Amino acid sequence: RKRLGIHALRKMKNEGNPISMVTAYDYPSAILAEEAGIDILLVGDSLGNVVLGYETTLPVTLDDIVYHTRAVARGTSGTMIVADMPFMTYGASREHTLLNAARIMREGGAQAVKLEGGEEIADDVKALVNAGIPVMGHIGLTPQSVHQLGGYRVQGKTEEDAARLLQDAIELEKAGAFAIVLELVTEQVAAQITNKLSVPVIGIGAGRYCDGQVLVFHDLLQYSSPYFEKKFVKTYADIGTTIRGAIEGFVQDVKTRAFPAEEHVFQPDSRGPERLYG
Ligand code: KIV
Ligand code: NA
C-alpha cells in the first residue's frame, strides 16, 4: 500500500472522505493498526500516560518519542506516521525546534510532527515547514499546558474562547500546517473551524463534523486497569479483561503443572522453532 501523504489527506477532506487516526507506541500495535486500514498513526505523547505510567504528558522526553517512533516505523510500510514533539522541545528557540524535529524525522522515521499551540507557535510551524518538515497542529485542550489551563476542561464554551480557537486554527493553516487536531472542543465550534479551514481537522472529543477522528489506542481497546470511562471515547474491545484472563490461565496452568504439556517439550529427535519471535 502506498503511504498516504499530506496532499492525499487534503483530497480526502475535499471529497468528504473521513480520515482515521489512532495512536501507536510500539511495533505490534503499529502492525495491527496498519493491517486494520488506519490512515494515520500518531506516536502521541499520551505515551507518557498510557504506556509509561505518568500523571501527565510533561515528563515525556524527545528520546522517548524517538525510541517509540522507531518501533512504530519498523512495524509499518504504508501508513503515515506523525510523532508528537514533547513538552518544551519546541518554542524555546527556533534552532532547538528545528533540530529536535529533525531527530524525530531522521532517527524516528516519522513523516510529520505534531505541536500543541496556536498563534504563539505559528512562527515555529513556518520554520519547520520551510525546512521540509510537515506539521500537524493541535489546539483546544492541549495536555502539555494542563497546569496553565487548570485541568482537562472542554474548550470553546464561551464566544471569546471560540473566536480565539478559530483564530489559532487560521494562523496555523497560514503558517503551513497540513492538518489540525482539535481536542475536547464543543461540537459547534469544531464544525465552524472545520468549515473555515482548507486543511483537514481531526477531532478527539470534538464532535461529529470534523474531517477525521483520532483516538488513543489504549482507550478504544480498554487496554488498561483500572479503565476510566470517558464520554468522548467509544470502546471497541475490552483487551484489559482479555489479557488479565489469559495471564490468569497461564498462572493457573503453571501452578497445576498443566503447562507445559507433552506437545510443548523437546525430545532428542525434536526440531527447534524456525525463529524465536515475530
Ligand atoms: O498524544 C496523543 O495521543 C494526542 C492525541 C490525543 C491527539 O495528542
Ligand atoms: Na499528544
pLDDT per residue as tens digits for the range 184-223: 999 999 999 999 999 999 999 999 999 999 999 999 999 9
Catalytic residues: 183
The rounded Å distance from CA 13 to ligand 1 centre is: 20
Q: C-alpha cell of 84?
A: 508528537
114 among the known binding-site residues?
Answer: yes
The rounded Å distance from CA 131 to ligand 1 centre is: 24
Burial pattern 103-136, b for ≥16 Cβ within 10 A else e, equals bbbebbbbbbbbbbbbbebbebbbbbeeeebbbb
pLDDT on residue 41: 98
List all residues whose CB is within 6 A of at least one atom of ligand 1: 23, 42, 44-46, 84, 138, 181, 183, 204, 214, 216
The rounded Å distance from CA 177 to ligand 1 centre is: 17
Q: C-alpha cell of 68?
A: 517509540
Q: Which atom of ligand 1 is nearest to the CA of 21?
A: 7
Query: Kindly report the CA angle at 237 between 27 and 137, in degrees rounded to 5?
Result: 60
Report which bound ligand comes closest to the CA of 85.
2
DSSP 37-51: T-SEEEE-TTHHHHT
26-40, 179-193, 262-276: least confident range: 262-276
211 among the known binding-site residues?
Answer: no
pLDDT on residue 192: 98
pLDDT on residue 73: 98
Ligand 1 mutation target, pool 22, 26, 40, 45, most atoms within 8 A of CB: 45
Looking at every residue in the chain, the average pLDDT score rounds to: 96
The burial of 260, by beta-carbon neighbours within 10 Å (0-12 exposed, 13-18 middle, 19 or more buried), is given as exposed
More confident residue, 133 or 273: 133
pLDDT on residue 85: 98
Q: Which atom of ligand 1 is nearest to the CA of 202?
A: 7
The domains of the chain are located at: 6-238
Question: pLDDT over 90 for what percent of the chain?
Answer: 93
238 among the known binding-site residues?
Answer: no
Q: Which residues, including other chains, have CB under 8 Å from residue 57's CB and lie 6 or more apart? A: 45, 46, 47, 48, 49, 86, 87, 143, 144
Only one residue has cell 493498526, namely 33
- Assign 1 a pLDDT band (cuts: 50, 70, 90): low
Q: What is the tens place of the pLDDT at every residue in 225-237?
A: 877 889 999 999 9
Amino acid of residue 80: M
Residue 146 has pLDDT above 90, yes or no: yes
Amino acid of residue 153: R
Q: C-alpha cell of 67?
A: 525510541
DSSP H or E run through 78: none
Q: Across the strands, what pairs with 139?
A: 182
Query: Kindly report the CA angle at 179 between 176 and 180, in degrees rounded to 5?
Result: 105
> Which of these, 88, 90, 83, lies nearest to 114 by C-alpha position?
83
CB atoms within 10 A of CB 269: 5
Q: What is the tens place of the pLDDT at every residue in 55-113?
A: 999 999 999 999 999 999 999 998 999 999 999 999 999 999 999 999 999 999 999 99
The rounded Å distance from CA 44 to ligand 1 centre is: 5
pLDDT on residue 225: 83
Residue 2 has pLDDT above 90, yes or no: no
Question: pLDDT over 70 for what percent of the chain?
Answer: 99
Report which bound ligand comes closest to the CA of 181.
1
State which fold the 6-238 domain adopts.
TIM Barrel (3.20.20)
ipTM of the complex: 0.99
- Assign 31 a pLDDT band (cuts: 50, 70, 90): very high
Q: Round to whole Å and give the CA distance between 21 and 37.
A: 10
Pairing status of strand 212-215 against strand 201-204 = parallel
The average pLDDT across 22-35 equals 98
Return the DSSP state at 143.
Answer: G
- Determine which residue's CA is closest to atom 2 belonging to ligand 1: 44
55 among the known binding-site residues?
Answer: no
Length of the chain equals 278
